[in-house]
């Protein structure tokens, strides 16, 4: 649906040009929720603004729906932008218009709809985002979550194929964030809209996205399905973002783990395996003991996961590891054979 | 000092002239200053039609006009006023210099008002496929409406001030009356009455301006 090829973009800074994006290649499939995560200054906002050409790339090409749009202008540019809805961190609603007026705005711009048709469409959109009874209020009378729902309804007004969300939940409290993410997922499911979600919070990615790309200093350093990137982060930047989300989560210094006498392994249970008493059974069968050194448990979208670093000791450690693998548990040896953090770009395959 | 033999007829006529001058000049000032202000805004730094040269030249010309004291501007403009309106006297002769004097000031106020509109709103409008014209007329101007009304209020009061000055060179109105009777003929009571009327007039403008601003504020 969206393809970025070799995108570069720099901005004039005090000491010459500063590269914001440095060779971005990215493909986003039709109908998926694609997350782009990075800490502030990584270039996320610039990247998402390239898709509807609010920013022009210095180099590289932008394709939307198979069509090269890199230098679209005038009518063609406006038509492209109408086919791409955008939701903003600070909502950017027109304070002089009512809720209904805000949602009607993009429809009025097209000049293609009559008054009645606009009113009908607006009513349907407000119903979809659950704001029907607030239609005549002004934005300042709404809560943050309600404002963002107006933003979403407005972005959907012209029936876009793509929805760009630029830190859409970053100004909201955790509970409202959850509700807005649920709404985005529902829209994605019901309308088949491709959603591109920019965020600095791994938690948002974990709850909403199918795939994710990690952006660090203008480059994509890691990309793949959320389960892969979230549970097996390989790049230092990804690791940092995962740890921010779960400060005490499943990572343990490799050296520290190997000092513990036993064999340190990282076990990842996903899907149904996360709910089964596998570890205890295998330990009993192989006469090994285990100490849990670190761990995290939760959901990636609807998929449950559990990840522990355990130290195995006892008679048949190798047999236990083989048994765990046979039961569908992902086992990574820590310490000597630990997977090194990488410098280039890590690709996770499903 | 006696208030018995005031020329109420003259005062009434002068008030009518002041109203006509302020009203007519305000209308034309807004008509001229609003497009200029929009142009300043659009060509300004990091705006939709960023054009440093155009912005710089326009800004320079407006600042020059604003640096000339209005009383001097009235005199300097006289030959041009005669060409434009056929006379440099009376209401007809004074509205042109009034507009030239206040339009640059109003244009600056418009520029500032438009700049205060959240950039995010402009970006959102463009992202929804709006053209620049649509963004200006359907998003930026409506968002800036309260500030624009405040700017019109301030400009109207400046015009009241300027009409009094133009009285000195034969413009007519309350200022003219106050100068002729109060200053040249030492009839202080006429000056006091004129000043009192002007005070009430300015208060009315400010109060109605404030009410309009409040009525259209949605923030």
pLDDT tens, residue by residue, B15-45: 999 999 999 999 999 999 999 999 999 999 8
Element (H, E) at B160: helix B141-167
pLDDT on residue A338 = 46
Contact B146, B202 (CB under 8 A): no
Instruction: Enumerate residues 6+ apart whose C-beta is below 8 A from A166.
Output: A44, A45, A48, A49, A86, A87, A88, A89, A198
Give the lowest-confidence range in A11-15, A89-93, A159-163, B1-5. Answer: B1-5
Please state the domain extents for chain A: 2-244, 246-335
The CA distance from A148 to A93, in Å, is 9
Q: What distance in Å separates the CA atoms of residue A5 and residue A59, rounded to the nearest whole number?
A: 9
Which of B123, B216, B218 shows the shortest C-beta gap to A140?
B218
What pTM does this model have? Answer: 0.87
Is the pLDDT higher at A327 or at A99? A99
Of A86, A93, A94, the CB nearest to B127: A86
> Whole-angstrom Cα distance, residue A197 to residue A86?
10
Which helix (H) or strand (E) segment holds residue B161: the answer is helix B141-167
Tell me the CATH number for domain A2-244.
3.40.50.300
Which residues are A304's β-sheet partners?
Answer: A299
Where does the pLDDT of residue B164 fall: very low under 50, low under 70, confident under 90, or very high at 90 and above? Answer: confident
- Taking any CB pair shorter than 8 Å as contact, residues of chain B touching chain A are 118, 120-121, 123-131, 134, 138-139, 142-143, 145, 216, 218-219
The DSSP bridge partners found for residue A263 are: A312
A330 exposure class (CB count in 10 Å sphere: 0-12, 13-18, 19+)? middle
Contact B121 A106 (CB under 8 A): no
**pLDDT above 60 (res A336):** no
Q: Which of B48, B52, B118, B129 to mutate to test the interface with A (most CBs of A within 10 A)?
A: B129
In this complex, is the C-beta atom of A106 within 8 Å of any C-beta atom belonging to chain B?
yes
Residue A239 in this model has a pLDDT that exceeds 90? no
pLDDT of residue A249: 53
DSSP-assigned beta bridge partners for residue A311: A264, A291
Q: Is A211 within 8 Å of chain B by CB?
A: no
Query: Which of A210-214, A231-235, A251-255 has the weakest average pLDDT?
Result: A251-255
Closest residue to B124, CB basis, from A92, A108, A140: A92
Chain A, residues 37-56, CB within 8 A of chain B, namely 52, 54
The shortest CB-CB distance from A79 to any of B123, B126, B129 is to: B129
What's the pLDDT tens digit per position in B173-183? 888 888 888 88
pLDDT at residue A343 in the model: 61
Residues A151-164, mean pLDDT to the nearest whole number? 96
Please give the average per-residue pLDDT across A206-222, as a whole number: 93
Q: Do A52 and B127 touch (CB under 8 A)?
A: yes
Q: Give backbone dihedrals phi and psi of B111, rounded to 5 degrees, phi first.
A: -55, -50
Q: Which residues have a Cβ under 8 Å from the Cβ of A316 and sit 6 or more positions away? A: A286, A287, A288
- For the B13-216 domain, the top CATH level (class) is mainly alpha
H or E segment to which residue A6 belongs: strand A2-13
Work out the average pLDDT over A259-282: 84
A204 Cβ contact partners less than 8 Å away, ≥ 6 residues apart: A35, A37, A169, A177, A181, A197
Under 8 Å between Cβ of B203 and B156:
no
Mutation pick from A93, A109, A142 vs chain B, by most beta carbons of B within 10 Å, is A109
B151 neighbors B212 (Cβ within 8 angstroms): no
Q: Are A105 and B138 inside 8 Å of each other by CB?
A: yes
Q: How far apart are CA A50 and CA A56, in angstroms?
A: 6
DSSP A313: E
Beta bridge partners of A3: A27, A63
Mean pLDDT in residue range A191-215? 94
Fold (topology level) of A246-335: Alpha-Beta Plaits (3.30.70)
Residue A335: pLDDT band by 50, 70, 90 thresholds?
A: low
């Amino acid at each position: 649906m969206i393809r970025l090829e070799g995108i570069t973009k720099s901005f004039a800074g005090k000491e010459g040009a500063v590269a914001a994006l440095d060779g971005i290649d990215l493909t986003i499939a039709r109908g998926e929720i694609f997350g782009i995560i990075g800490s502030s200054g990584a270039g996320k906002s610039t990247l998402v603004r390239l898709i509807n050409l609010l920013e022009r790339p210095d180099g590289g090409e932008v394709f939307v729906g198979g069509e090269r749009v890199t230098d679209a202008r005038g009518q063609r540019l406006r038509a492209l932008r109408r086919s791409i809805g955008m939701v903003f961190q600070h909502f950017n609603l027109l304070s002089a218009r009512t809720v209904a007026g805000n949602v009607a705005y993009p429809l009025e711009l097209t000049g293609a709809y009559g008054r009645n048709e606009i009113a009908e469409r607006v009513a349907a959109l407000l119903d979809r985002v659950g704001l029907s009874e607030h239609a005549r209020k002004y934005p300042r009378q709404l809560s943050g979550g309600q404002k963002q729902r107006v933003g979403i309804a407005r972005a959907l007004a012209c029936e876009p194929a793509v929805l760009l969300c630029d830190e859409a939940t970053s100004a909201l409290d955790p509970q409202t964030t959850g509700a807005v993410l649920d709404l985005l997922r529902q829209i994605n499911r019901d309308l088949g809209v491709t959603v591109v979600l920019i965020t600095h919070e791994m938690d948002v990615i974990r709850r909403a996205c199918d795939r994710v790309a990690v952006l660090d200093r203008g480059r994509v350093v890691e990309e793949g399905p959320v389960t892969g990137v979230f549970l097996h982060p390989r790049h230092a930047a990804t690791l940092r973002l995962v740890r921010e989300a779960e400060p005490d989560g499943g990572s343990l210094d490799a050296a520290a783990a190997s000092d513990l006498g036993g064999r340190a392994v990282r076990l990842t249970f996903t899907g149904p395996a996360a709910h089964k008493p596998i570890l205890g059974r295998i330990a009993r069968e192989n006469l090994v003991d285990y100490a849990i050194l670190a761990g995290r448990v939760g959901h990636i979208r609807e998929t449950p996961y559990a990840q522990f670093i355990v130290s195995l000791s006892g008679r048949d450690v190798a047999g236990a590891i083989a048994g765990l693998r046979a039961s569908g548990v992902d086992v990574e040896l820590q310490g000597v054979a630990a997977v090194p953090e990488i410098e280039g770009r890590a690709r996770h395959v499903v | 000092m006696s208030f018995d033999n005031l020329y109420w007829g003259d005062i009434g006529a002068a008030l009518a002239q002041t109203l006509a001058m302020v009203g007519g000049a305000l209308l034309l000032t807004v008509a001229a200053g609003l497009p200029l202000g929009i142009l300043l805004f659009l060509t300004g730094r990091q705006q939709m039609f960023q054009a440093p040269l155009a912005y710089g030249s326009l800004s320079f010309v407006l600042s020059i006009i604003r640096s000339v004291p209005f009383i001097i501007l009235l005199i300097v403009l006289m030959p041009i006023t005669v060409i434009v309106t056929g006379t440099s006297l009376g209401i007809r002769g004074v509205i042109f210099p009034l507009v030239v004097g206040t339009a640059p000031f109003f244009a600056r106020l418009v520029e500032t008002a438009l700049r205060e509109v959240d950039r995010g709103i402009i970006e959102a409008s463009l992202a929804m496929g709006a053209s620049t014209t649509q963004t200006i007329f359907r998003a930026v101007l409506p968002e800036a409406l309260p500030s624009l009304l405040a700017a019109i209020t301030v400009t109207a009061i400046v015009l009241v001030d300027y009409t009094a000055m133009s009285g000195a060179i034969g413009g007519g109105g309350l200022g003219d009356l106050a100068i002729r009777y109060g200053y040249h003929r030492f009839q202080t009571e006429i000056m006091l009455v004129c000043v009192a009327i002007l005070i009430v007039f300015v208060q009315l403008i400010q109060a109605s301006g404030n009410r309009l601003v409040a009525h259209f504020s949605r923030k």
